[in-house]
Structure 1
């Protein structure tokens, strides 16, 4: 029986030794503090309301200025004074168009065969736009293969310079000024006679002459 008593005595001493070490380390107090902190509720933070600023007061404006009428916007582009304006959108009748073209053919047949020529009926686009198409066959046979400046001479021997676009086969920059200056209109017919390598004499057969002719016939 001495051996069990010795075991129990040794176990009791070990328990006392462990308790003494715990007291020295104060672990039981630390555990109690942790447990208390976990149970204790955390203080809640008060929510702060954001202040909404009032809209700024309207800008003060002089009563005299406010009563004035709206001022014009000078940034708008206006047509320069003195330049001719394009004609109104008026279309010729089929009779007037055919009359002008037939007279253009008669004139072309009377011109010298030493200088090639062609007829170009005028549409509203040609009369007001910035482009005039040249017949492809005429361009390939008589005109330069690259871009150049072309001169048009009207019936009063006035010269107009414009750019010839070889790839597009037409007259571009400068044509609009010629068309508006000559007061071309839908239904007119133009006869172009190549008098030099880059110069045309231009004859204008106006569609309005049809109505003048009809009026003379009725008198």
Structure 2
């Protein structure tokens, strides 16, 4: 009797399990459970690896005593690290807002260029020079000043370095010269803001030393007249 009761109970239990399984499949519960399990797993984002900056190296001749150097005419070289060119930034306040841009007519701009070129011809110093008319990218936003490529190739060399800009008051401003891009980057913003340069102003750059320019500014007046400015 006991065996028969156990058999009947087991049959009823298995029957209910089968019925419950069919109900779950009808409600699509197994698939929902799999979806919930897959979405609950959080994948941690990969951390970006910082790539160390490789210092630039140059080959230099090793200094030796006169006795050793006289015994051999073959120089000995070794590698040295070249430090990146850095300059101290001057406090120039906030960058100019692009909404405050001021445009002048092309005629007025050409007039300022003509006056600057006339001034350049009258310098008479014999130093190399060039004329540069200011665009918006020179005096606001990015503050990047591209220089004439041929002038850079002939007079400024192929190495990055510090170039000093000297205004007509004798005030000096250090800027970073990027040889591969033929232009002035860091430090140029300080000069432009300090002298309130605007679109259409025209500058004469006179190379008075290998790494120094004397800068003369011809300004575009608000009344349509350009005026030579001793900044």
TM-score bracket for this pair, using the shorter chain length = 0.5 to 0.7
Aligned match of 1:120 in 128, 132, 154? Answer: 132
- Given that residues 99 and 210 in structure 1 are in contact (C-alpha distance below 8 angstroms), is that contact kept between their aligned partners in structure 2? no
TM-score, normalising length: structure 1: 0.60
Higher strand share: 2
The 3 A distance-change label for structure 1 pair 95 and 144 is same
Higher relative contact order (CA 8 A, sep 6+): 1
1:101 maps to 2:113: yes
The 3 A distance-change label for structure 1 pair 40 and 115 is closer
**CA distances 1:28-49 after superposition (whole Å, capped 9, x unpaired):** x9xxx5898269742458x9xx
The 3 A distance-change label for structure 1 pair 210 and 139 is farther
Structure (1 or 2) with the larger CA radius of gyration: 1
The 3 A distance-change label for structure 1 pair 39 and 197 is closer
Q: Aligned partners of 1:96, 1:210: CA distance in 2, in Å?
A: 10
- Report the RMSD for the aligned CA atoms in angstroms: 3.1
TM-score, normalising length: structure 2: 0.57
Q: Aligned partners of 2:173, 2:187: CA distance in 1, in Å?
A: 8
Q: What secondary structure does 1:42 align onto? A: helix
Aligned residues: 150
Higher helix share: 1
1:83 deviation in Å? 2.1
Q: What secondary structure does 2:205 align onto? A: strand
- Show the counterpart of 1:152: 165
Q: Aligned partners of 2:166, 2:10: CA distance in 1, in Å?
A: 107
Unaligned runs of 5+ in 1: 1-28, 48-80, 215-219
1:186 maps to 2:156: no
- Show the counterpart of 2:179: 166
- Given that residues 153 and 160 in structure 1 are in contact (C-alpha distance below 8 angstroms), is that contact kept between their aligned partners in structure 2? yes
